[in-house]
Amino acid sequence: MPSRARVTLTRESVLDAAAELVRRHGPAALTMRRLAAELGTAVTSIYWHVGGREALLDALVERTMTGLGEIRPSGRTPEHRVVSIASSLRRQLRGHPHLVALVHERGLTERMFLPAQQALVREAHAAGLRGARAAEFVRAVQFQVVGHVLVERNRERAPAQNPGEAELWRAGTAGDDPALARALARPVDTERLFETTVRALVRCLLTARGTGPAGHGTVRGR
């Protein structure tokens, strides 16, 4: 009260500072001591407001995730609308690159997809899928989108692979298909790849007619 050189410390202000630290320098830069320095307080004050580092990260992930915004499907057919849901989620996650790492580290990748699930269920229903079939469709899209984002983010921060695709496909390993070798030596256009694969997956799963999902494994599913 007397000095007021700083904003009064609250749970919110701690989370703000933490989020800013992560945004600017990545998750590794978020140490309790550095955060305290940024806030101009003693390290131990943070423990009073948000608990330890684990709790802090939990709260941070939670807050960022709820702020991600609505999923608004667009397009006329279910196929287009599902692709738009997937693209929209991907775009949102790419807008918070460090969040993806944070969420992954904390074993919460599944949570990243929860807000999109309802939207997907609606599209599955619109496409005539119900029950377990619809559930499988939702899960398939979920795994593919989240998985793609994880791989994409990962490769973005790994500039020099060793040995990378470029070297692997320089020699005559391509079975007399130089165009293929050239294509594989080039960096991936991940956005295009994302749309292509999601579209292919959706098309196949939504139009799969007949006796349910393709049989699998040793006996015969369902």
Partner DNA sequence: ACCTGAACACCGTTCAAGT
Q: Which of residues 138-197 bind a second copy (CB under 8 A)?
A: 138-140, 143-144, 146-152, 154-155, 157-158, 161, 163-165, 168, 173-175, 177, 179-180, 183-184, 188, 191-193, 195-197
Instruction: Choose the binding region for a second copy from 4-12, 19-27, 33-41, 212-220 (rule: CB under 8 A).
Output: 212-220
Contact 22, 54 (CB under 8 A): no
Do the beta carbons of residue 78 and residue 126 sit within 8 Å?
Answer: yes
Q: Which one of a second copy, DNA, none is in contact with 33 (Cβ closer than 5 to 8 A by kind)?
A: DNA
Residue 45 interface partner, choices DNA, a second copy, none, CB cut-off 5-8 Å depending on type: DNA
**Looking at beta carbons only, is 15 or 17 nearer to a second copy?**
15
User: Quick one: what does residue 192 bind among DNA, a second copy, none, with the CB cut-off 5 to 8 Å set by partner type?
Assistant: a second copy
Give the number of residues in contact with a second copy, rule: CB under 8 A.
Answer: 68
165 binds, among a second copy, DNA, none (CB under 5 to 8 A by kind): a second copy
Pick 10 or 74: Cβ nearer a second copy:
74
Q: Name which of a second copy, DNA, none residue 44 binds, using a CB cut-off of 5 to 8 Å depending on partner kind.
A: DNA
Residues 24-83 touching a second copy, rule: CB under 8 A, are: none
Stretch that binds DNA, among 31-39, 168-176, 192-200, 213-221 (CB under 7 A): 31-39
